Structure 1
Amino acid sequence: MDPLTHFLDGPRAARAFALSMQMTAPWGITVRDNAALTVLAVTSGQAVVDGALLTEGDVALIRGPEQYEVTDTAASTPTIDIGPGQQCTTVDGHDLREDFRHGVRRWGNAEDGETTLLVGTYARRDEAGGLVARALPRLAVVPREQADHTLVDLLVREISQDNPAAQVVIDRLLDVLVITTIRRWIESSERSTAPTWLTTTDPMVIDALELLHAAPEAPWTVESLARRVNTSRASLAARFRTSVGEPPMAYLTRWRFTLASDLLQTPDTTVAHVARSVGYNNAFSFSTAFKRHLGITPSEFRHHRPLLSNGISEPNMHPTRSAFIPID
């Protein structure tokens, strides 16, 4: 299994918030809904997201939970506020939900504005996939020429109708659109900002990554990994560091705790099960290592999960170590 497959095996929308937004200039919105991930596609007109201009056909992924601004031009000042639970008001608190509602999943300051945006959100980080939520940049834009317009059109059509099981279809289409957009972003001119472990072309390193990802619980050493990819320990270590940016075992440690962090966000998964899944014989040794690397215990991490999904800052991690996935 290639590294990108592991990265993308995450988005699982569950009753995702999705709508078609119709706007006529001038307009500006501050979004502080605390969503883990937002998909925004410009289907007509243009929009500026935190200073980046998006034109018709562009698709963007916005990593939360920090607030961001969407406006018609860079010079526009937001007058609309979207808060937690998709509560929509003016900046002085007037409720706009009914004023801006124009039918099934259609919303905006005009029924037929010159700018139309498709918006879909993953409310919680575990829905978006922890790897996605942590490894993407704040804003990833795929230009019109590389975006998947077929998926966007299908999602727009489903959003505009009230068919049976529409929410299930919207959730699955949104997942596929996110995955496709990430793939196109990695392939695009923005490739240089993607994590090197996703974009490496060294076949030996790809084989090594596949082995580590497929069996993170195995008692790997550099020697055993080198044997599996038919090379010497020194050659693997050198090529792995060049491609990934760190030694194989350092990467494996990070990967294990990234997976563990995701598993801990599932309420019915025990710490002991998580420990075994990432290569620890018992919950005690896993908890000790988890705290050493992340600065808090697994139980404390799990306790903070509701705060993370509601946009409150993550707990303080160890200041000299990356808490999650290795990114450039």
Structure 2
Amino acid sequence: MFTALVRMSERLRFGGMDPLGDILDGVRARTAAFCQAVLDPPWALRICDEAALGLAAPLHGHAWVVPDGGEPTLVEAGDVAIVQGPAPYTVADHPGTRPTVFVHPGNRLITADGTDITAATKLAATTSAIGFGAEPSAGSTILASGVYDVSSFVSGRLLATLPTVVHVPRDRIRSPIMDLLHVEVGRDGPGQQVVLDRLLDLALIATLRAWFARPAGDPPGWYRAHGDPCVGRALRILHEDPAKPWTVAELAAATGVSRAAFARRFTELVGQPPMTYLTHWRLDLAAESLRNSEATLAAIARQVGYANAFALTVAFKRVRGTTPQQFRAGLADTVPAA
């Protein structure tokens, strides 16, 4: 199973991915991030670990996710909730329960009076018991949780489309991932942490798929278009080779439809004309390189399809409202278009 999971994860992360795969590539489970906690009511955890995304999934019992300034969300056993950070939020047995334990970066557990109880609550490498012994009672909650880093500027496209709390009921997640996580967390064998991290990555993907596919869902255009035989193919082509000097006519020919029909269909599904989408994607990639590499502006320009640094600067300033140099220096920030 380990080899199959690694291969599945690699196919989702590396070359030839669809747009969702490209955007998720910068969202990774943190090493040693997954754990399950046994919680006896009344209980409330204040999550202040500064993670960009957190996962909460009751394996037994229930939990309320309470974002600051937002509506509480009830998460039943088998459901999955993805919560956007880095702002703190509370997970509790009831929305009115006051937090008694604060979860800090590194999964450090600090009580309200400042006592570090991290070591005292550990039952095993990945299990904690807060407030009572190792055996759960009938009213207790077993909560599986994990956190993700979002290291890629490109992944901001995904975060911009999501609410603070993404809640997906168990019957909508057509994947055995959470069951596999529940089984694996109780083991202590070689390579276990790698397996847990991969499973946590896949749990995020399965949850987002279910969220976007729900009847009341309003997924972003690039996600809706993925399933279209014409536009989906064009999106994959653009993501695989964004630097090529594409034209609408070339994309239409590659997808086997007329230029007019292709342009109309692409704009209808994605919400942007093909060349506008390509421009935004190139600039997302440029922003990623500016923030996470030391490549020269000229080199980045060539990598994303601009003739030179000047051409990239003009496009970046027009679309992002700032220059690449200011963006790299951290003097300005921009949010990717959804």
TM-score normalised according to structure 2 size: 0.79
Give the drift of 1:54: 0.6
- Aligned twin of 1:112: 135
3-state DSSP class of the match of 1:102?
strand
Residues 107-139 of structure 1: per-residue CA shift (max 9 Å, x gap): 242333410111111234349955544443322
For residues 242 and 179 of structure 2, the distance between their equivalents in structure 1, rounded to whole angstroms, comes to 39
Give the share of equivalent positions with the same residue, in percent.
39
Is the Cα–Cα contact under 8 Å of residues 129 and 262 in structure 1 kept in the other structure?
no
For the residues of structure 2 that align with 1:315 and 1:41, how far apart are their CA atoms?
A: 36
Q: Please say if 1:177 is aligned against 2:203.
A: yes
- Corresponding residue of 2:114: 93
Is 1:136 aligned to 2:125, yes or no? no
Please report the TM-score for the alignment, with normalisation by the length of structure 1: 0.81
Q: Are residue 30 (structure 1) and residue 55 (structure 2) matched?
A: no
Indicate which of 226, 229, 252 corresponds to 1:226.
252
In structure 2, the partner of 1:254 is 280
Which of residues 80, 83, 87 in structure 2 aligns to 1:62? 83
Match of 2:94 in 1: 73
Consecutive unaligned residues in structure 2, runs of 5 or more: 1-16, 67-71
Q: Following the alignment from structure 2 to structure 1, what is the Cα–Cα distance between the partners of residues 129 and 232?
A: 46
Residues 1:14 and 1:54: Cα distance change in structure 2 (over 3 Å): closer
- 3-state secondary structure, aligned to 1:77: coil
Q: Which sits farther off after the overlay, 140-149 or 262-271?
A: 262-271
2:232 is aligned with 1:206:
yes
1:324 aligns with 2:331: no
Structure 1: which 5+ residue stretches go unaligned?
Answer: 305-313, 318-322
- The Cα of 1:270 is off from its aligned counterpart by 5.4
CA–CA distance in structure 1, aligned partners of residues 86 and 292 of structure 2: 19
Paired AA for residue 103 in structure 1: A
CA–CA separation in structure 2 for the residues paired with 1:303 and 1:107: 42
**Cα deviation, residue 284, structure 1:** 4.4
**Distance change in 2, residues 1:149/1:213 (3 Å):** closer
1:159-308 → structure 2 map (5 Å cutoff) = 159-190=185-216, 192-200=217-225, 201-267=227-293, 271-298=297-324, 300-302=326-328, 304=330
> Are the structure 2 counterparts of residues 287 and 85 from structure 1 closer, same or farther at C-alpha, using a change threshold of 3 Å?
farther
What CA distance in whole angstroms lies between the structure 2 residues aligned with 1:268 and 1:157? 42
Root-mean-square deviation over aligned CA pairs: 2.9
Whole-angstrom CA distance in 1 between matches of 2:277 and 2:119: 50
Which residue number corresponds to residue 55 of structure 2? 39
2:174 aligned with 1:153:
no
Counterpart Cα distance in 1 of 2:153 and 2:114: 30
Q: Distance in 1 between matches of 2:182 and 2:104?
A: 23
Deviation at 1:40, TM superposition (A): 1.8
How far apart, CA to CA, are the structure 1 residues paired with 2:314 and 2:327?
13
Whether the 8 Å CA contact 1:32–1:84 is kept in 2: the answer is yes
